[in-house]
Amino acid sequence: MTRGQVQDGDREEVALFIERHWQSRKVMSRGHEFYPHREQGLLERRDGDIVGLLTFHVEDKVMEILTLNSTLDGERIGSSLMLQAVEHARSEHWNRIWLTTTNDRLRAIKFYQRLGFRMTAVNVGVVDEARMQKPEIPLVGEGGVQIHDEIVMELPIEPYLDA
């Protein structure tokens, strides 16, 4: 097992991983297009293959999580990558981490809440609008729930305290 930051030599493999998990190399957040394989990221490999990937965009000392995927359920890969992201943001003196997820992803919402994230907004209908730019976004998601809205979740970053 190896963990680390996404390097330039990883970009094509990361793009294929994103495409496999998101049906495209493009993801949408707040109506904006992102290409996660071109952004910063953290990954975990086992036997040379990517088994976990977290990608993020940084603007004005704020980290936006774009994607988080693991190919192995129950291995705590997603938790490990999120904790690494928090530590990375703290070491860079960034102010907060935020992300969006869709209204059908109740399991993901619980996961982020357990890590300390709070819901800060609901962007009503934004997924319907995003489908115009990315038609492969499904109409129905987890548990048969229709996907229409984004849930915004945030985690403030506490600075290290000097001893």
Q: Domains in the chain, ordered, with CATH?
A: 2-156 (3.40.630.30)
| DSSP per position, 9-54 | GGHHHHHHHHHHHHSSS-EEETTEEE-GGGSEEEEEEETTEEEEEE
The C-alpha atoms of residue 48 and residue 69 are separated, in whole angstroms, by 17
Beta bridge partners of 65: 56, 99
Q: Which long-range contacts (CB under 8 A, 24 or more apart) does 130-135 make?
A: 130/28, 130/31, 133/28, 133/33, 134/24, 134/26, 134/27, 134/28, 134/33
Q: For the chain, what is the mean pLDDT?
A: 92
Q: How far apart are CA 100 and CA 67, in angstroms?
A: 9
At residue 159 the predicted structure's pLDDT band, cuts being 50, 70 and 90, is low
Has this prediction a pTM greater than 0.85?
Answer: yes
Q: Going along 124-163, which residue ranges are E strands?
A: 150-156
| pLDDT tens-digit map of 25-44 | 999 887 788 999 999 999 99
